[in-house]
Amino acid sequence: FAPIEQWLHHDDSSLLPATISGSGDYAGSRYAYQAAVLGPAFMQLISQQKVFLVGCGALGCEYLKGLALMGACSAPGSKLIVTDMDTIEVSNLSRQFLFRQADVGSSKSLSAARVVKGWNPDLQVQALEKGVGTTSEDFFDDQFWAPLDMCWNALDNVVARRYTDSCCVWYGLPLLESGTLGTKCNSDVFLPGQTKSYNDGVESDANETQIAMCTLRSFPYLPLHCIEFAKQAYFSDYMEFAPQQYEAFRKDPAGFFEQLDAMGDAEQLKSLKMIKGYIELQKHGAVDFEVCIRTAFSHYCRDFVTSIRDLVHSC
């Protein structure tokens, strides 16, 4: 994965009203600049919304920040309901920016709501600690869904996404849907009567078993995480990639460097480092069984002892 190296221009001029009459009643307020661009009517509309935000992880934190700072759900009678049944873990702190070390073990939704309420005291936010699904329909019933203006998903699994989508179809609500997994992402808007629903176009849930790289690399806490970490970070590199690269270099150096030019910078560096390791290994004479054992032990200590101790100590 390589970040964009050029300029990225994003045009949302379609959001602008046909005529703009200044900030109106919002002149001198914290929303003056936004009202000057989008118009007072737009500001009044978003301030009166009743929004249901499902999930308060990495995406949920971003959405809460945006809604709070833009003045959404800030008028009397409006409401921003956020729910998440999870508690904050250490692994969340690197990407869920509303949380701090002192929040570890606390409710995600309650902690996040407290933070954004501090940013904008007018925000009409309500935090819940309930999962959304068939087992909670006694709480999320007709009286809950009917008054809403929209639902916003910030979920991490297909089952929950399917359920909220079915509710939005039933109650005629717009659904905003997004998700991330490693370097992959998706973002969709589903409008009642205008677009297909999420369930009509959902991809296969084959990726449901994939593990987020931030968890896999930094905070593996399940046996599956440790096995997958060893497979991806150790065996794939040292047992497959490194020998293949070295053999290609040994047999045809010129051809190898031609292939290297076609790789990205990160892959080039990785390949050259591994080849350098093989060359240095042979500098001191024949590579016998004892040298192989010593090298394997060195790799093991570095990847499965020292790095883990450093991680635990730094936390």
Q: Which of 11-20, 67-76, 154-163 has the lowest mean pLDDT?
A: 11-20
CATH number for the domain whose boundaries are 21-210: 3.40.50.720
pLDDT band at 290 (very low <50, low <70, confident <90, very high): confident
Q: Which helix (H) or strand (E) holds 306?
A: none
The per-residue pLDDT for 202 is: 57
The per-residue pLDDT for 69 is: 96
The per-residue pLDDT for 9 is: 84
Q: What's the pTM?
A: 0.66
pLDDT in tens, 51-66: 999 999 999 999 999 9
Asked about 214 being catalytic, the answer comes back as yes
Cα separation, 43 vs 137, whole angstroms: 33
Q: 111 phi and psi, to 5 degrees? A: -65, -45
The per-residue pLDDT for 218 is: 61
DSSP 6-36: S------GGGS-SS----GGGTTSTTHHHHH
The per-residue pLDDT for 149 is: 97
Residue 299, both tokens: 């790799």
Question: Cβ-count burial of 64 within 10 angstroms (0-12 exposed, 13-18 middle, 19+ buried)?
Answer: buried
Starting from the edge strand earliest in sequence, which strands make up the sheet with 125-128, in order?
A: 125-128, 79-83, 50-54, 150-153, 175-181, 184-190
Residue 50, both tokens: 């009743």
Q: Is residue 27's pLDDT more than 80?
A: yes
Do 175 and 200 meet the contact criterion of CB atoms below 8 Å apart? Answer: no
Three-class secondary structure of residue 135 per DSSP: helix
The per-residue pLDDT for 250 is: 87
In the chain, where does the domain assigned CATH 3.40.50.720 lie?
21-210
pLDDT in tens, 105-121: 999 999 999 999 999 99
Catalytic residue (one of 167, 214, 292, 301): 214
